Chain A
């Protein structure tokens, strides 16, 4: 039932105190928000905390959501701000050499420890879609993706190895990611 509603409809329901509506938003977006946080923070535990904080902040500010932007953009903006704030705090903390642990916060959006069968199926489909999309990349782009993702080479190492300018390597990877994004936008499971 709830899964058939749009994000905006769910937010309206959540504002009207439907307890399940915001849960559905979390289910829909937790993976994406985690990925974004991980992309910025580069640490699993930090990214998990930041994504939880994102949903907490979103929940607290539900009534301020005016529907002018998409819910996804709104959540992304909150997530980016959470992450950048964390980074700034971490930087100050490391400069001051003070070990301040975060105040204990309520963790209400904990991802389940096990995957339900439907989640497992979805995951399999998602990975298959990604594999097909990577395979369908033009050879020169695919090569860069393989070197970067599977061989964990730096841009400089790839540049040296392929005898290409560094800027070309970066640009090709960006193009590859753009193409993957386009290909994966059309698959039935949420990949991007």
Chain B
């Protein structure tokens, strides 16, 4: 179906596909040489190449803006602590390490004592035995009234259900576990390339062929332009 759709708009520009392949450095040496000779005399191909290069440059900027949002440039808490301590002299680091270890041991001992005290206290007061724990839903406290068990909890905005609903806005991909994924033979794709966007549902993708108007964009999208890779999919509905 897609192939049929595509055949009808197949380009007839001849050297056009070569321009695209040249741009991505994917022509063979002989083809590349031929294309460069052609390029030196073809204004149309030069214009194409210049325009495509500009588009690539902008897409590259878009891609770069997506990088800071990932964890790559954000150091974790441990990294930051490590960096902090790395600046201290060795003696200070040794003392603070010993101090931290002592605090941890004390905290562990305190927690253990608290648990031991509570369990002995509940046994003295006729607390639940092992079999009681299995049958009661809320050990160590008053039984839950029957009405509370029957009525579902009131939904509060921002609970897990809302998050799931929000995540539906992001186009699901064919990941491990899906039928499509399982049915395809595994192929060797280097690292990040395996995260391909091939299973994006068609109904979530924009069909708008109108040229984008910046005034619309300014009103629709007020946050910054930085973009994660999946945002290009996720924002289709919003932008149109």
A residues with a Cβ closer than 8 A to B are 31-36, 38-40, 42, 73, 76-77, 79-81, 84, 87, 123-140, 142-143, 145-155, 157, 160-162, 164, 167-168, 170-175, 177-189, 191-192
Would you call B6 and A172 a contact (CB within 8 A)?
yes
Main secondary structure of the interface of B (DSSP, over half): helix
Contacting residue for A143 out of B23, B48, B195, B198, CB 8 A: B198
Contacts of B17 in A (CB 8 A): 167, 170-171, 173-174
Docked-complex contact B50 and A147, CB < 8 angstroms: no
Interface contacts beyond A84-B39, A132-B212, A152-B193: sample of 11 additional A-B pairs, CB < 8 Å, sorted by A: A34-B57, A76-B46, A80-B39, A131-B225, A135-B235, A139-B205, A140-B2, A151-B197, A168-B3, A170-B20, A179-B209
Q: Are B53 and A36 in contact (CB under 8 A)?
A: yes
Give the complex CA separation of A81 and B36 in angstroms: 10
Q: How far is the CA of A183 from the CA of B227 in the complex (A)?
A: 20
Interface size on B, residues (CB 8 A): 73
Can you list 28 A-B contacts (CB < 8 A)? A31-B54, A34-B57, A36-B46, A36-B54, A39-B22, A80-B39, A84-B39, A84-B40, A87-B36, A124-B225, A125-B217, A128-B217, A129-B217, A130-B62, A132-B217, A133-B211, A135-B235, A136-B212, A137-B206, A139-B200, A147-B198, A174-B16, A178-B48, A182-B211, A183-B211, A184-B55, A184-B211, A187-B211
B: residues with CB less than 8 A from A are 2-3, 5-6, 9-11, 13, 16-17, 19-26, 36, 39-40, 43, 46-63, 65, 187, 189, 192-193, 195-198, 200, 202, 205-214, 217-218, 221, 224-225, 227, 229, 232, 235-236, 239-240
Do A157 and B229 touch across chains, with their CB atoms under 8 A apart?
A: no
Q: How far is the CB of A133 from chain B (nearest CB, A)?
A: 5
CB distance from B66 to the nearest CB of A (A): 8
The complex places the Cα of A106 from the Cα of B195 at a distance, in Å, of 46
Complex Cα gap A138–B2 (Å):
11
On whether the beta carbons of A192 and B55 are closer than 8 Å, the reply is: yes
Contact of B206 among A80, A136, A148, A175 (CB under 8 A): A136
Residues on B with C-beta less than 8 A from A76 are 43, 46-47, 50
Contact A81 B40 (CB under 8 A): yes
* Chain B residues with CB below 8 A from A124, complex form: 224-225
Q: State the Cβ distance, B231 to closest chain A Cβ, in Å.
A: 8
Most buried by A among B19, B21, B211: B211
Within 8 Å by CB of A151, from B39, B49, B51, B195, lies B195
